[in-house]
Amino acid sequence: MKKEPFVTKEQLEEIVKEYPTPFHLYDEKGLRRNMKALKEAFAWNKGYKEYFAVKATPNPFLINILKEYGCGCDCSSYTELMLSEAIGVTGEDIMFSSNDTPAEEFAYAEKLGAIINLDDITHIDFLEQTIGHIPETISCRYNPGGLFKISNDIMDNPGDSKYGMTTEQLFESFKILKEKGAKEFGIHAFLASNTVTNDYYPMLAKILFELAVKLQMETGVHIKFINLSGGIGIPYTPDQEPNDIRMIGDGVRRVYEEVLTPAGMGDVAIYTELGRFMMGPYGCLVTKAIHEKHTHKEYVGVDACAVNLMRPAMYGAYHHITVMGKEDIPCDHKYDIAGSLCENNDKFAIDRMLPKIDKGDLLVIHDTGAHGFSMGYNYNGKLKSAELLLKEDGTVQLIRRAETPADYFATFDCFDIGKKLLEE
């Protein structure tokens, strides 16, 4: 089975004349189409808002496209808050969901007027000591523990997760926060990652909606929003059926009407924090075959490496690969597709059946639009690539230049050796 790239071989051949491989390429048309579908899926909820998970793809040009559709930013660090402020996303358009949070990050989030989502009950006092008060609108992250199952399938293990509060801690936190002046409350939970099933969000919603009813009854707080966070995944393998966001939205609506509306809580807003679903399929890593090696295995060496896409090296994650121009040629060659790092796990594919690859062939590594560029690093002194946007009209825009050695050595600029390196 195969995946269709959103870019043609002819387009790529023109692009590489100006921008050398490797680079990440994003699809504006697909991104906008997906954003419209998400808005339609949750249009039934008056207060619905998507807070894009900045960590997934922290590029202001891309986030600005989402901002056109009313998206806010889900931030988890100081620099993500800086990026949001720089593009004009402030106030309650920011959801600050972090853990093990330094004081200066809470202070900056408060300065921007962000909604702060507390990860732990001990953070209540820490936040109050840091900013001098408890905000009127506050959220808490919930972790029920145990396993999260859909039917008999284990989707994830919240009990092993470092995030969120226990049920008892959540009830106690709401009571404390109310006593300290909080007036509007939110509940947040992330119980499973990258689910490719339309059932995840409705099941999560049912858990949180029932919890919200109990919380409001027992503590007397007003639940303003319920944040279903992320977890809606994408089909990395070509045999997987993609999620149907409209079906997911309708499933959440049915649970809302079953649980919240009869409890007099039909004013609760639904929030989401989708990174992978929003951006993942609309990015790819373009790389060129530069070497072949015939030893105990057949290797194709490309000019990208784990610096450009860490997921396969880090978790053995599957990313589909298209050899451009050879889509209809039989996949009768078994290759490891490798990068140049001094690490044996620097492979984009292991024992992958592909068409015969020749030096100079362009390879598209699919579904890198989220947690692709953003997880990059500089091991072996390798430099991060450029990011490009394939616009709706077919033109290409540079939205992040490739790093240079000057970027790599920039933090030595206060030393003589650094000045020498930066002069070269």
Please count the residues of the chain: 424
pLDDT in tens, 176-203: 999 999 999 999 998 888 999 999 999 9
Alpha-carbon distance of 320 to 332, in angstroms, equals: 16
Which residue, 159, 141, 139, is CA-closest to 149? 159
Structure tokens at 278: 């929003």
Helix (H) or strand (E) holding 67: helix 60-67
Taking the C-alpha atoms of residue 169 and residue 187, their distance in angstroms, rounded to an integer, is 13
Closest CA to 6 of 409, 364, 382, 401: 364
* Residues with a known catalytic role: 342
Question: Does residue 350 have a pLDDT over 70?
Answer: yes
> For the residues of 318-350, what is the DSSP string, one character each?
---EEETT-TTS---EEEEEE-SSSSTT-EEEE
Cα(84)–Cα(94) distance, integer angstroms: 8
Strands 396-400 and 184-188: what pairing?
A: unpaired
C-beta of residue 51 within 8 angstroms of C-beta of residue 91: no
CATH 2.60.40.10 is the classification of domain 27-280: no
User: What is the pTM assigned to this prediction?
Assistant: 0.95
Domain map of the chain by residue range?
27-280, 282-412
Per 3-state DSSP, the chain is made up of helix, strand and coil in percentages (nearest 5) of 35, 25, 40
For residue range 394-424, list pLDDT tens digits in order: 999 999 999 999 999 999 988 888 878 877 7
Instruction: Report the pLDDT value the prediction gives residue 2, as an integer from 0 to 100.
Output: 87
Give me the CATH topology for the region 282-412.
Lyase, Ornithine Decarboxylase; Chain A, domain 1 (2.40.37)
Q: How confident is the model over 289-310, as a mean pLDDT? A: 98
Helix (H, G, I), strand (E, B) or coil at 174: helix
Give 151's pLDDT tier (boundaries 50, 70, 90).
low
Provide, rounded to the nearest whole percent, the portion of the chain with pLDDT above 90. 91
Tens of pLDDT, residues 21-78: 999 999 999 999 999 999 999 999 999 999 999 999 999 999 999 999 999 999 999 9
| 8-state DSSP, 193 | S
Could you give the C-alpha distances from 33 to 30, 36, 157, 384, in angstroms and in order?
A: 5, 5, 33, 28
- pLDDT one-digit tens code per residue, 319-346: 999 999 999 999 999 999 999 999 999 9
Encode pLDDT of 192-241 as tens digits.
889 999 999 999 999 999 999 999 999 999 999 999 999 999 999 999 99
